[in-house]
A and B are shown apart, each in its own frame.
Chain A
């Protein structure tokens, strides 16, 4: 059973389009995250939700909008895609925000904007 699953695994689209990435975790965790990994492998947090409430919102263009319908799901919607949005997007979860528990990551969604 996959603990943190993301769909789709690959996403190729054109500039200006709107797309969504879905994430689900079956670990019973309260907290979920979106990270962006750029072409140089640098990881940067974008958003974090705890029990459906937004708790971290880093400096991300407002074209990116997370949505958490329940604590097991955190989706990422991106409007008006730009070339610079091309990256690998990782969803992650943890039992609580902060603390000593490690994050559990999905396998990523590779977004390519042409």
Chain B
């Protein structure tokens, strides 16, 4: 069975500082990995994905994520946080060898303070 863990319920950073939101996954085959962001009273919006190739993937709003196969991690990063980045972030995984299911992590609330 596939699973995703986001170990931090909340991450607090100061505006202008770098941010990292952690994600680890477990699959039996090869993973497709995704990050989504959810603003209050809105649906999830796609940020970026890892399919294959370069381990560092860049996405919307200046976010990037690094795929690390040995550590089974896909941490979300941004060099300089903005107050407007404050939102709920979800990591998700799809196991290529185990059907169509997309499994989400429990979410991490990012709070960026001025």
- Beta-carbon nearest neighbor of B106 in chain A: A42
| Min CB gap A17→B, angstroms | 24
Contact A98 B43 (CB under 8 A): no
Please judge, given known A-B contacts A108-B42, A108-B43, whether A103 and B88 are in contact too, CB under 8 Å: no
Contact A105 B43 (CB under 8 A): yes
> Residues of B within 8 Å of A, CB-based: how many?
23
Chain A residues within an 8 Å CB radius of B106: 40-42
A16 to B65, CA, bound (A): 46
**CA distance in complex: A56, B99 (Å):** 10
* A108 in contact with B102 given A100-B32, A102-B34, A103-B46 (CB within 8 Å): no
Interface pair B100/A102, CB less than 8 Å apart: no
Which A residues, 97 to 114, have Cβ-Cβ distances below 8 Å to chain B?
97-100, 102-108
By a CB distance below 8 angstroms, the chain B residues around A102 are: 34, 36, 46, 49
Q: Is the CB of B99 within 8 A of A107?
A: no
Given A40-B106, A41-B106, answer yes or no on A105-B44 (Cβ-Cβ < 8 Å): yes
Is the Cβ of B44 less than 8 Å from the Cβ of A90? Answer: yes
Report the minimal beta-carbon distance from B38 to chain A, rounded to whole angstroms.
Answer: 8
B51 within 8 A of A: yes
- Sample of 12 further A-B pairs with CB below 8 A, known A102-B46, A105-B45: A42-B104, A42-B107, A43-B90, A56-B100, A56-B101, A92-B44, A98-B94, A100-B51, A103-B44, A103-B102, A107-B41, A108-B41
Contacts of B94 in A (CB 8 A): 98
**Contacting pair A55 B107 (CB below 8 A):** no
